[in-house]
Amino acid sequence: MATPITQPLAASGVRDITIAQERYAIVVTSGGIDVFDLFKGHVITSGTLPSEPTSVVADWENIWGRIYVGTTSSGVFDMQYTLIREEGRDLTDDLVQRFTTSTPIPLSSNHINDIDVRPGRLLIGTGAGIDFIADETVYMNFVSPETEYATRPLISGSEHVALTEAGGYWTTATGVFLGAVEVNYDLLSTTGTSIIDIDFEYRKTSNPALPAEPPFDISIVEPTGGPLPAIGVATSGGVYVFEEEPGNESSANTKLLSAEAFITCDFDPNATFDSGCLFAGKAVGAIGTKKSDAGQDIGGELKLFDLGSNSVSGTHNAEAGTRGITLVTGTMTVARAVDIGYCPTSIDDTQN
């Protein structure tokens, strides 16, 4: 079972987290990248980048598996995944700038908001749109000239992206209260066409409809052996969960988990639409979050929903001393779950 993180980060300001092998929490902060061994409970490797990191993903299931780190102004860096497990290693020189607006495969912007990865594929949300890159050679130390890619311009860019086995989802935002979750069910067929088409757009006015706009975070789980993929969306009107029904979206099973405001969500890796659990986090200052004795906001709140009963089975307040964890100080930015084989009633096995 994973050990709760008890070591402080090298710098404050958690930007993103990815969990690899159900053991390593790869965390990017305002100061760089830290890798926690969740079995040992401490940082084992760290590194810095020339531009502030914003997002991180890892493909650890492929022989050419790599880590990809998005930045505020320098595009995407990558490195060999296995190097993060070498305890005491400084990752700084291992991180290489791989994709920018001027590389052979150009990005729509050097400001990266989010990245997702599947073997041979990358989906990147930037300040100007989304970029999809498809080629096995992105896992080596070079990118083949035959590597294919496609893009979709978005006025305000995309804050969150998520790949599925064949396609992908991403958020849009054209204003403070406007936005959608767009989906393309077969991204591989879009490469070489330059423009990514959308197959469906989830909004407050669509059927099914989001409870609020804009969407803040997306999580997808694709069970094996029959159940349809389930998609979770965190919004200011609650966490909305629906099953993927390509071409027949209005008939999909849907449910709203609470009507509170959430900014992040993540499924248990073994979850389905009606089993397992989903973690959802509130922002600092949201209604119901913890306050100090002086009435000041001191942190967000993480709720654990049992998808079998659609009820809350655990709650964690990001309050000093709650878990003895200094990973987050007075804020809730991102929640990521590890697979522990059951839906817990405490939050000790998540990173927030």
Write out pLDDT tens, residues 174-192.
766 689 999 999 998 887 7
Average pLDDT, the chain: 83
Classify residue 275 by its DSSP letter. B
Grade residue 61 by pLDDT with cuts at 50, 70 and 90: confident
Q: How many residues are recorded in the chain?
A: 352
Instruction: Report the pLDDT value the prediction gives residue 39, as an integer from 0 to 100.
Output: 87
Instruction: Report the pLDDT value the prediction gives residue 137, as an integer from 0 to 100.
Output: 53
Q: Kindly report, residue by residue over 82-104, the tens digit of the pLDDT.
A: 999 999 999 999 999 999 999 98
Instruction: Report the pLDDT value the prediction gives residue 331, as an integer from 0 to 100.
Output: 52
Instruction: Report the pLDDT value the prediction gives residue 194, as an integer from 0 to 100.
Output: 73
148 vs 183, higher pLDDT? 183
Phi and psi at residue 42, in whole multiples of 5°? -150, 165
Check pLDDT > 90 for residue 109: yes
C-beta separation of 173 from 116 below 8 A = no
Classify residue 237 by its DSSP letter. T
The dihedral over CA atoms of 232, 235, 237, 243, expressed in degrees to the nearest 10, equals -20
Name, in order, each residue with C-beta under 8 angstroms of 100's C-beta and a sequence gap of 6 or more.
74, 75, 76, 106, 107, 110
Instruction: Report the pLDDT value the prediction gives residue 320, as an integer from 0 to 100.
Output: 41
Residue position matching structure tokens 């077969």: 186
Question: What is the C-alpha separation between 161 and 194, in angstroms, rounded?
Answer: 18
Residue position matching structure tokens 């849907």: 254
Q: Kindly report, residue by residue over 260-313, the tens digit of the pLDDT.
A: 899 999 999 889 999 999 999 886 554 444 444 444 444 567 889 999 999 988
Closest CA to 237 of 267, 266, 268, 216: 216
| AA letter at 197 | D
C-beta separation of 34 from 53 below 8 A = no
Grade residue 330 by pLDDT with cuts at 50, 70 and 90: very low
Check pLDDT > 60 for residue 139: no
The dihedral over CA atoms of 136, 137, 140, 143, expressed in degrees to the nearest 10, equals -150
Q: Kindly report, residue by residue over 318-329, the tens digit of the pLDDT.
A: 554 333 333 344
Task: Give the distance from CA 277 to its chain's centroid.
Answer: 17
224 vs 44, 116, 165, 292, CA distance in Å? Answer: 33, 20, 11, 45
DSSP-derived 3-state class of residue 83: helix
Is the Cα torsion angle 318, 320, 324, 327 positive or negative in sign?
positive
Instruction: Report the pLDDT value the prediction gives residue 348, as an integer from 0 to 100.
Output: 43
Question: What is the C-alpha separation between 62 and 218, in angstroms, rounded?
Answer: 24
